Chain A
Amino acid sequence: MIEAVGLTKRYGDKTAVYNLSFQVRPGAVTGFLGPNGSGKSTTMRMILGLDNPTSGHVTIGGHPYRRLPNAARQVGALLDAKAVHGGRAARNHLLSLAQLSGIPARRVDEVLGVVGLQDVAKRRSKGFSLGMGQRLGIAAALLGDPQVLLFDEPVNGLDPEGIHWVRNLMKALAAEGRTVFVSSHLMSEMALTADHLIVIGRGQLLADMSVTDFISANSADFARVRTPDTEPQLREKLTSALTEAGGHVLPEPDGALRVTGLALPRISDVAHDADVRLWELSPHQASLEEAYMRMTQGAVDYRSTADRKAGLQQPLPPGAQPPMQVPGQGQPGWYAPPPPQQGGQLFAAPQSAPGQAPAGPYGAPAAPGAVPGGQPANPYAAQRAPQAPAVAPVAQTPQPPAAAPAPPAAAPAPASAPASDPTKPEDAR
């Protein structure tokens, strides 16, 4: 159990972490999320006694880290893959750490096998790829078979097989009753692995709740409405009609409208009353990624901007207008609309099963496997389907089931192709 109370760290005038209090419990994977530079690593370092907090304190099992008896047997940590002397062979690196805590040398070979580095054990870690370095770091964390494990960005640089392995490893470790604390800036990754989330931004606590609660508190549903492209005036008409009816309308780059605050049947009614034809009316769920981005958008330190090449472009010919930027997805600083107000039911009951595979635009069935049928409103909530973040974009592109790539050669009968589709997420867990 890790417990932080009023943890604060200042470097000169810069406050890296401010008044952070949280608990990390055993038996669960706790995700530690935040944008780059939000203080995740600083917090990790304070937990591990590498940095002294300016104020507050953090304990592991009731002891400050530096007073833990035989710390390496109680806490294992992956800080960053580079925390290794590149000139030393992988096995010697682990052996020196094992000797430091009185761990038998045969345990070194054991963990090398666990992380799959036994074949390169005699090679110097300088020549390791990022993924191999990460595996070596994980091996060091597992060396003492500790009760508490901390991982700072464990999946950085790992291949899909490695990511899959780390996910399972962390879940297995937690299932054994250990405390597992994993930092990441990838919400999608945490949604798959973590049971509990601690979100920080600019060094302050933004959220400390279970993944399920995080989703219900932050995910925002919206409806995508498309009017005939050939008649732009209909779009204007519908926009004003929907706004009048109490909806919140945002234009999307491709000309569709993103509507919140109105149930789907109501949108249809409004459109009918306004005599506007619709080409699309579909329910959508903002991904957890977006919920996280929205939560942390005020706390991002390093924000990318459009590359305008100012002063390097040929001046526009007189009279020409620069292309208008439509605010929308994919542009820096734009996120999904905020979650609905308390009690504001976004999709009313008649819109029967929100979890049912939503029909793609133009009536085409949604991509296979995009949203398994009969699933509760949020794909993360119970099953945490790995493909969930892609739900919105996938639903946008019509993709009949037949389009699923059949495995080349040695493929089973075409009828069973979708089931054995290598991109199928079921076996990605």
Chain B
Amino acid sequence: MSTPQPPTPQAAPDWQAAPGSPYPVYTSPIPVVRAGLRHAVASEWTKMRSLRSTMWTLGVFVLLVVGIGLLTGAVVANSSTDVSTSNPLEQGFFGVLLGSIAVITLGVLTTSSEYGSGMIRTTMVACPTRSRVLAAKSIVFFLVAFVVTLVSSACVAVVHAALLEGQTSGPTGEQWFKATVGVALYVALLGLLSLAVGSLVRHSAGAITLMIGAVLAPLVVALFMFSKSLENVQQALFEYSIPNQLSIFYSNSLSDSGPSGLDPLWIMLGVTAVALGAAFALLEKRDV
């Protein structure tokens, strides 16, 4: 992806070639290439792969998803409890829930670490089309998060299906899809939301706290809503909390009402689109 593109020579910018200029003008022998999103994506890919923190966060993510997935799978498979009526892939949920924190961290760091280090000024000087940089970051991060989640959740799903082969009727096509592609899309979108929040807040610790709060707070607050008059609020908080949305992909939701099917994906898509839109708008307006 980072292979150097054959340079397509382009006419020197008009101001440089201005005839009769009273000043001597330097012209570089290196051919000028019209830079575009493709170049920005290559650049962001280099940035992402050249940081140890990327490897660490993704490593932790894979470890959590696969490790916890295998552990819960093994425990359930070896117990005598009847699991024949439930989704055979549902034990993958715990690993993904914990792993999503690593994806959130990586998403936030993709944008906010540039602000923390001052790298953003170097980047924005090299590419004053600011939206191109954010778009490239979003694309690269989304693809990386999607692929890594897809691979690790698919691994877990395959192992679970094999472990529970005799005890259940085997996962349906829809269950397969939701526990792999669905979850991967959802987690990648959650990471993209974090990336947008990181770009809005521009402070790593602040943005990570905000995102982890957004994931956990609704559920924790709802747990302690004992008052009858708050029952509806409690219900909504439970149903729309991110852990519950995630559990819908494994059909072990807290309640039968509320979002179902691929609803969480659409909800997350909407929220992320709004946050990313705000991030793009502010990036253009704010001083770097």
Contact = CB atoms under 8 A, between A and B. Distances in A.
A26 B23 contact: yes
Contact of A102 (B13, B39, B46): B39
B75 interface: no
Interface centre among A48, A51, A103 (most CB of B within 10 A): A103
A88 B44 CA distance: 13
A151 to B, nearest CB: 12
B47 A26 contact: no
B233 interface: no
Interface string A42-76: 00010011111000000001110111111111110
A247 interface: no
B122 A66 contact: no
A293 B148 CA distance: 60
A178 B26 contact: yes
Contacts of B39: 99-102
Given A51-B287, A83-B117, A95-B46, A75 B125 contact: yes
Interface string B11-33: 00101100000011111111011
Nearest to B132: A100
B126 A100 contact: yes
A89 B50 contact: yes
Classify chain B's interface size.
Answer: 35 or more
Contacts of A70: 13, 32-35
A105 interface: yes
A256 interface: no
B280 to A, nearest CB: 15
Interface string B23-62: 1111111101111000110111011001111000000000
B121 A101 contact: no
Contacts of B7: 102, 104
Nearest to A27: B24
Contacts of B63: none
Interface string A78-99: 0110111111110011011101
A146 interface: yes
Contact of A51 (B13, B122, B128, B288): B288
A77 B125 contact: yes
Contacts of B128: 48-49, 65-68, 71
Contact of A63 (B15, B40, B42, B46): B15
B118 A97 contact: no
A70 B40 CA distance: 12
A29 B50 CA distance: 36
B172 interface: no
A50 B47 contact: no
A7 to B, nearest CB: 14
B24 A26 contact: yes
B118 A73 contact: no
B5 interface: yes
Contacts of A51: 287-288
A140 interface: yes
Contacts of B125: 48-50, 71-72, 75, 77, 79
Contacts of B129: 66
B253 interface: no
Interface of A is mostly: loop
Interface string B115-158: 00111111111111110010000000000000000000000000
B43 A146 contact: no
B167 interface: no
Nearest to A148: B26
B46 A83 contact: no
A102 B133 CA distance: 14
A176 interface: yes
Contacts of A100: 35, 39-40, 42-43, 123, 126-127, 133
Contact of A61 (B13, B40, B120): B13
B133 to A, nearest CB: 8
B117 A97 contact: no
A102 B5 contact: yes
Contact of A96 (B5, B16, B46): B46
A185 interface: no
A85 B121 CA distance: 11
Interface in B204-219: none
Contacts of A93: 50
B127 A79 contact: no
A248 interface: no
B4 interface: yes
A65 to B, nearest CB: 6
B117 A74 contact: no
B35 A61 contact: no
B113 interface: yes
B169 interface: no
Nearest to B24: A177
Interface centre among B26, B114, B125 (most CB of A within 10 A): B125
Contacts of B120: 83
Contacts of A176: 26
Contacts of B50: 88-89, 92-93, 95-96
B113 A177 contact: no
A85 B113 contact: yes
Interface string A336-371: 000000000000000000000000000000000000
A97 B26 contact: no
Interface in A155-190: 176-178
Contacts of B29: 145
B21 to A, nearest CB: 9
A147 interface: yes
B2 interface: yes
A69 B26 contact: no
A104 B33 CA distance: 10
A97 B122 contact: yes
A30 to B, nearest CB: 13
Given A83-B119, A88-B51, A146-B28, A71 B46 contact: no
A1 interface: yes
A85 B15 contact: no
Given A70-B13, A79-B125, A83-B122, 5 more contacts: A26-B23, A50-B288, A73-B28, A97-B122, A177-B24
25 contacts: A1-B23, A26-B26, A50-B121, A72-B125, A72-B126, A73-B32, A74-B13, A79-B122, A83-B120, A85-B114, A85-B117, A86-B117, A92-B50, A96-B46, A99-B46, A100-B42, A100-B43, A100-B123, A100-B127, A102-B34, A104-B30, A146-B28, A147-B27, A147-B28, A177-B24
